[in-house]
Structure 1
Amino acid sequence: MTASTARRRRRALSRLLVAAPLLAAGTLTGVPAAHAAAADDVRVNEVVTTGDTNDSIELYNKGAATVDVSGWVLKDDDKSHSYKIASGTTLAPGGFRAFDVSGGFGLGSKDEARLYLADGKTLVDSFAWSEHSDPSWSRCVDGTGGFEQATTTTLGGANDCGTGGGGGGSTTPVAWPGGSGVVTADGSGVFGEDLSGLYQEGSVLWGAQNSGKLWRLVRDGSGGRQPDTADGWASGKTLRFPGGSGSPDSEGVTLTGAGSAGGVFVASERNGDASGTSRLSVLKYDVGGSGSSLTAAKEWNLTSDLPSTGANLGLEGITWIPDAALTGAGFRDGSTGAAYDPARYGAHSGGVFFVGVEGTGMIHGYVLADSGAYTRVASFTSGMPGVMELQWEPQASRLWVVCDDTCDGRHHTLKIDAGGAFATTAVYDRPSGMPNYNNEGFSLAGADECTAGSKPVYWSDDTADGGHALRRGTLTC
């Protein structure tokens, strides 16, 4: 995201307009016809209350049929306060949807969340509390259990009831699994603000900058990174959409098993020339030339397939996971409800691209066909209010999910569980020696860089605190 919106982003992130529903397996490509009734199946499931912004109420459908909640009304304990749910809003079976009610009313330290049918008089469900959430009042278990203070806000996804996100490990944060020290890894003022996604390919570190630039960074001889001076990379290369127009708001970067020779893939949340409109895209670039700009060879525009979000709260992270790693772990294809079968999708990259959404904290997996078509095969919550970076670590077969200063710089790791879905295995605090920077990028070195049981990792600071955008630390191999 651009420097001019860095501070506004923090405020916008705390106002989740509508968190994406976590769709049940088999409903990713379509939702069954909704029922107008079945009110008994819809429950207030999570409440986040601060008395100001970030006041949200989540609903959950515990039934077996999709429920149309168009026009239903949310209220607090004051009958004159109300929030009307938009027309066309449905809840799939097992689906979650959160509503930011702060535009209509604030939720106090002693208050109540009430859900009514569209007549505004027929009470469906309610929950009252006597102190603010810290950070979340959550039903445990979803839909049927009692409310308790959960340790993690999970709007739009399964509640954190001490089960590690539905079958994984603990979600209680633990110390960073590496060295506590972090050092600057770039020259002062080299990048300025807005350096975001990172990806390490051997000795090269790729960096995506929100201003529509891609960087190729090489080692500087002292453990840091500097721009490659060859082939026009000295000041980064300007990115364009297919046809040579526009300015992608480039947030994340990744490669496939073919390496950069097979193209560099960039996640973009909008066109900087039309910054008020979402354009949630994955763009492929041929980086073999020597010019100063790069025009995308292909674009997969995912906007119509994903729940709407603020133009500056869209795709932030991207990573690619090989088909072999997914099938070997028993990954379940959400579009079919069966085991993932790469042959079903014809010619593609040989893996699945996973993208993270800043505004909802959701992660979505896509098979991007060589033809330009795409299929969404997964949607799941990260367990955090926002996703800034995704990285697949093949040596440990785990997915890293990174949040910025909004989440105190925490990192989640997820693995594929026995049911074929990604589940949280650990939550790590940032290294104790690193302040709470606005880190939007994270990369891990390969196993070949392990020395004395540790390998380097890098973070990119979107705000460039102290004039530096890159920092280096270590992770236990």
Structure 2
Amino acid sequence: MNRSIARRGRRALARFLVAGPLLAAGALSAVPAAHAAAGDSIRINEVVTTGDVNDSIELFNKGTAAIDVSGWILKDNDKDHTYKIAAGTTLAAGGYRAFDVHATFGLGSDDEARLYLADGKTLVDGFSWSAHSDPSWSRCPDGTGAFKQATAVTLGAPNNCGTSGGGGSTTPVAWPGSSSVATADASNVFGQDLSGLYQEGDVLWGAQNSGKLWRLVRDGSTGWKPDTGNGWSSGKTLRFSGGSGSPDSEGVTLTGSGSAGGAFVASERDGNASGTSRLSVLKYDVAASGSSLTASKEWNLTSDLPSAGSNLGLEGITWVPDGYLTGAAFKDASTGAAYDPARYGAHSGGVFFVGVEGTGMIYGYVLADSGGYTRVASLSSGMAGVMELQWEPQATRLWAVCDDTCHGQHRTLRIDATGAFTTSAVYNRPTGMPDYNNEGFALAGSGECVSGAKPVYWSDDANDGGHALRRGTISC
């Protein structure tokens, strides 16, 4: 994201739009007894009334069979306002699907969400409220409970009904390492907008929002500097497939094949069309020569995800191996059953998890080698925004990191007994680090453990004090 004061102002405005004041409790509207049998399973499950940033109605299938909702109608309290669900839309058993209706009708502070069968007359479900969502009107429990103001927007995932989900405490505790941090780069090497990080042994990869990828090498025992070989001295310019555009590169990760298998970059838009979301994962051959890299593949996820402001989209990305997921009995949200990698044919050997800044949501995708994709997970980070995701294989935990929006909070998630990723711990930033706009976070491998601690690194998007990289430690 192109930051500085203007950037923070834009995000502050978006945050204001996604959280109205809590004035009164909502109430369920009457639902007639006579409606199609399929309608018995489908319920309005979450409503977000956030102006033109995201006015959304989520549906949930509480039944045991998939339901085709093609042509079904969503309305507010005006009978002439109708949103028709697209053909080919099916909700799997236990599945969630959010529909952004703001382009058709807005959801006000005293309004109603109604769901009809395709005839436009048979009411399936409805919910009315007398205050804007703060931030989300959610059924608790999903599909069957009463609506309440939940603590987080969870469109496309189980509602946040006031629990951590996996038994882990959501009360922040002290950083599990040294309280002090130090700079890890020379003065003014990167300037602003350094974002996602990923450490691969003696190389630190960095994604910069201006459409650049950096390959950094060791600078002494504690710092990093740009590689001067093979065109990397000033970072390499990134392009979409075909050599066009300027990806707003926010996150970077590698698979089990390392950089030889390509670098995967999360981008939220094309810098040449900055007002339009383009939520994509791009694959690059980092061994290619020259000063620029053209994506060999793009998985454009925009149509599969709830809409976000063009500067509030994909921020973090990480890859989790299939071996861990199957061993932990990870539940595939697309099937409702245990995750089976063989179902998806040729892919990376794992699942890519992406984090959304504007909602704090995390989504898991199998990205097929053919260019197709399947969403297999949707979960809330429990934070207002996700700026970075990192898989730590030695501790088998997923890190979700927020910037100064959440005062530098870090969360770890593990797969629980239900097969879902849930919060296992919440950490404050080290007390010796000011509340920087840290958008990147990387952990060293177990081989760097010394006296029970290993290095971690943060990238400061605002380049405070002329430095974009800082180094701390964490317990091994």
The TM-score bracket by the shorter chain reads 0.7 to 0.9
How many residues are matched? 444
- The aligned residue for residue 85 of structure 2 is 88
Superposed, 1:47-196 pairs within 5 Å as 61=60, 63-64=62-63, 70-73=73-76, 86-88=83-85, 95=96, 97=98, 115=113, 124-126=126-128, 140-142=140-142, 154=154, 157-165=157-165, 167-196=166-195
- The aligned residue for residue 15 of structure 1 is 17
Alpha-carbon spacing, 1:341–1:139, altered in 2? closer, same or farther (3 Å): closer
Alpha-carbon distance in 2 for matches of 1:209, 1:14: 27
Alpha-carbon distance in 2 for matches of 1:83, 1:14: 29
- The aligned residue for residue 233 of structure 2 is 234
- The aligned residue for residue 256 of structure 1 is 255
- The aligned residue for residue 2 of structure 1 is 2
Contact residue 366 and residue 375 of structure 2 kept, 8 A: yes
Alpha-carbon spacing, 1:391–1:114, altered in 2? closer, same or farther (3 Å): same
Which one-letter code corresponds to 2:13 in the other structure? R
Larger displacement relative to structure 2 (204-213 or 408-417): 408-417
Deviations 1:323-370 (A, max 9, x none): 111111111222233222222222222211111222232222222222
- The aligned residue for residue 285 of structure 1 is 284
Displacement of 1:44 = 7.3
Which one-letter code corresponds to 1:6 in the other structure? R
Displacement of 1:86 = 4.4
Superposed, 1:18-37 pairs within 5 Å as none
- The aligned residue for residue 356 of structure 2 is 357
Deviations 1:34-58 (A, max 9, x none): 9799599756767899xx9999897
Alpha-carbon distance in 2 for matches of 1:191, 1:431: 23
Alpha-carbon spacing, 1:88–1:345, altered in 2? closer, same or farther (3 Å): closer
Contact residue 283 and residue 297 of structure 1 kept, 8 A: yes
Alpha-carbon distance in 2 for matches of 1:44, 1:349: 33
Displacement of 1:98 = 8.9
Displacement of 1:216 = 0.9
Contact residue 58 and residue 98 of structure 2 kept, 8 A: yes
Unpaired runs of 5+ in structure 2? 20-34
- The aligned residue for residue 462 of structure 1 is 461
Which one-letter code corresponds to 1:333 in the other structure? D
Which one-letter code corresponds to 1:258 in the other structure? S
- The aligned residue for residue 30 of structure 1 is none
Displacement of 1:220 = 1.6
Alpha-carbon distance in 2 for matches of 1:315, 1:435: 25
Larger displacement relative to structure 2 (380-389 or 83-92): 83-92
Displacement of 1:434 = 1.9
Displacement of 1:71 = 4.6
Alpha-carbon spacing, 1:60–1:247, altered in 2? closer, same or farther (3 Å): closer
Unpaired runs of 5+ in structure 1? 18-33, 76-81
- The aligned residue for residue 31 of structure 1 is none
Deviations 1:202-261 (A, max 9, x none): 021100001110111122215122112222211111111222221111111001111112
Alpha-carbon distance in 2 for matches of 1:98, 1:14: 21
Provide TM-score, normalisation by structure 2: 0.80
Alpha-carbon distance in 1 for matches of 2:277, 2:403: 21
- The aligned residue for residue 377 of structure 1 is 376
Contact residue 409 and residue 430 of structure 1 kept, 8 A: yes
Alpha-carbon distance in 1 for matches of 2:189, 2:214: 11
Alpha-carbon distance in 2 for matches of 1:178, 1:61: 41
- The aligned residue for residue 427 of structure 1 is 426
Contact residue 400 and residue 411 of structure 1 kept, 8 A: yes
Deviations 1:276-320 (A, max 9, x none): 222222111112244211122222222233333222222111111
Contact residue 347 and residue 368 of structure 2 kept, 8 A: yes
Alpha-carbon distance in 1 for matches of 2:347, 2:150: 41
**RMSD between superposed Cα atoms in Å:** 3.7
Alpha-carbon distance in 2 for matches of 1:35, 1:10: 44
Larger displacement relative to structure 2 (254-263 or 55-64): 55-64
Contact residue 330 and residue 338 of structure 2 kept, 8 A: yes
Query: SS at 2:423's partner residue?
Result: strand
Alpha-carbon distance in 1 for matches of 2:287, 2:95: 46
Give the fraction of aligned pairs with identical amino acids, expressed as a percent.
67
Which one-letter code corresponds to 2:463 in the other structure? A
Which one-letter code corresponds to 1:88 in the other structure? I
- The aligned residue for residue 367 of structure 1 is 366
Alpha-carbon distance in 2 for matches of 1:193, 1:322: 32
Alpha-carbon spacing, 1:282–1:153, altered in 2? closer, same or farther (3 Å): closer
Query: SS at 2:243's partner residue?
Result: coil
Alpha-carbon spacing, 1:280–1:44, altered in 2? closer, same or farther (3 Å): closer
Query: SS at 1:173's partner residue?
Result: coil
